[in-house]
Structure 1
Amino acid sequence: MTPGSETTIDVEINNDGTFIDGNEADRSAVTTARGVVVKLRAPNSPISVNTNSVPLGEITEAGSPKTASFNVTVPDRVDPGAYDLRVILDYSYTSKAQNVDSGVPITVNQEQSDTETETVPIRVTDDARFEVTELETELRVGEEGEITGELENIGNDDARNAEVSFAPESETVVALESNVAVGDIPAGESVPFSIPVEVTSDAEAVPKRFDLPVSFRDENGIRQSDTDPEFLVDVGEQRDAFLVEPVNNSIPAGGSQPLDLRVTNNLDEPVTDIEGKLFADDPLDSTNDETFTESLDPGETTTVTVDLSASSSATIKNYPTSIDFRYVDSDGDSKLSDPYRMAISVTEPEDGGGSPLPLVIGLLIVAGAVAFLWRRGTFDGINLPGGE
């Protein structure tokens, strides 16, 4: 045990009851301990026992030993050395069993209860032991990330060839590396560590606690371990890989024009080979609906362009469109983003419906000329019907 640790002490209870005299058939009756209850106490000791008592039931002489487990805490400032703990056993038993034969067998028992106390020595050592400090991490649902921090040796002994193990019990947090070597850690000093992990899309954005056991070699070259280190991290909400903003999101009915989109890398890593695909339903359409961007650094923005048209019969209102992106992340993995929905506003036709007017005026002018010639009766020496 080491200072500043919480651990479990297992106390094994074995029945060594003695059969003194009598019928061998009664042996089990007088050597069985019933209702066994075990208590662990630490009088005159800085060690705290957190488990009050452990019931074990019946323990027979011929049966296997039973184990009582106790949770104990060793405070931070406990001096290394040996400490005595007291084990108290309460139980009942049959001290005598006698068969009286008077035609019908009758067993006469003499019941007793007893308490026994034993002393169990434990040793508190000041071996190398560790704490996680300077924790810095940003984990998000649906993304890969890193858990980084410092591992401090708070014991008095040096640790050599130390290694941290990360094996989360959660099904939604996956260790991309389960064991990471951190090297030698002298007493009182710290070394950095970094563990790559992935948070699946099924995870919840909640705080999570993880254990970080450390294995190392002590000053004698013996492999030791400290299972006490732990840490707490916050898992953030899932975020979009890209931010998409239309530069011009309106189009007249019956018109066709380029649609410019500002695309920003919203991740913490560079991405490459970014292929965009626009999806538009009737009355919107696109004859050039794909884009390509070679690379984007974190936070970098580019403008991509697709073609967009609206049918002349389109109702004047907003219509949904969407675009998604296939890209390659910094690990070389191909990924597909979620669709990004955008509202496109179809507006009135640009000509305002005034084009038929010149044709009507022209027809009126021609009709007026014919009426004038009719009243005059002739045109360039030609007789007109009905003339004077």
Structure 2
Amino acid sequence: MSFMSRPVPPTADVVIVGGGVMGTSIAYHLAEAGVHHIVVIERGELGSGSSGKPIGGVRAQFSDPLNIELGSRSLRAWQDFGQRPGADIRLDSVGYLFALTSDQQTADFETAVRIQNSLGVPSRMIGPREAHQLCPYLSTDGLVAAAYSPTDGHARPGLAVQGYARAAARAGVAFATHTTVTGLDTTGDRVTAVHTDHGRISCSTVICAAGAWSERLGAMAGVHLPVRPVRRQLAFTAPLAPPAPRIPFTIDFASTAYFHNSDDGLLFGLADPAQADGFDTTWTPDWLQLFRTAVQRRAPALADMETTSGWAGLYEVTPDHNALIGRAGAPHNFLYATGFSGHGFLQAPAVGEIMRDIHLERTPFIDVTPFCADRFTTGVQTRPEIHVV
């Protein structure tokens, strides 16, 4: 691939800030459409931010039609990734299983499943016994129902980043790694240049795909991107003997505790409700007690499993847990795709297409106006997404 650290090109048509799965997907889709002179700026290595997660879920099980459409279109792209752009991302279509423990949760998911089915997603509500058959670790004690979609699953974000980046590089995209944006020049209602610690780039368009760092970049352009960084942690069990059965990506909805297969064991995760905002990505395994407490009743065999290592990364969270996707009113050539609140990897293929179309002033396959960044100040309302894992 074409990597550089110094100097960066003096000019570009499009500068994409952020070399994770979103930035590389956007670069790939733009280059595939014939856009030239694209530079991707990444402060570390490609995929070193939130896309560094070892395993990422892919699904179309959401409660909001727009998120369902983004997830469903992306699922098809992940399934075809071996042909376009051409890379093995270790996609495992084991399904997603939400364990529900109250009548209200069940009613909410029944509504969501009806919407999903109307949009072609093969999800369904199932009873405790079938949920246990799909995931033998699940206890039926206190389990009211579950929501299951067989075409969901998980893949490897790092492999997806590399797949997109290699294809983009072959099409002429340049990648400036270990390069930090230090400022933007604006003239009138346009961004005219990006300043980095390795040089200045005059440009026609800037696209923010900077994840948890997006609020800082937006401020440089005078655009408010309400994204806050929140640490999320996960852990790996010791190798299991006998091996774990092949199970869906399973989530105890009430606690957000989740688990699924990972090589020779299981991966554990949970959204710690007390986690303070910040950019710290130190792995601190004390959160595991929250997980063990949560699964003591829901999947008791997991509560005492030995863990050997873990990972910490950043979610890029917005006030309503929905993404920010669109074009700024001013500067008009500042575009953004960020704030995915844990859903960025699974939605990246569809969002790459949408950002391509916004840049080329085409009509995207779906109207993303509800995800405009100024919805929090203009009164445009989106429905908060009920699934936040």
The bucket for the TM-score relative to the shorter chain is under 0.3
**Structure whose residues are more often helix by fraction:** 2
Which fold has the larger relative contact order, with Cα–Cα distance below 8 Å and residues 6 or more apart in sequence?
2
**Structure whose residues are more often strand by fraction:** 1
Q: Decide which structure has the larger Cα Rg and report it.
A: 1
Query: Structure 2 length normalisation: TM-score?
Result: 0.17
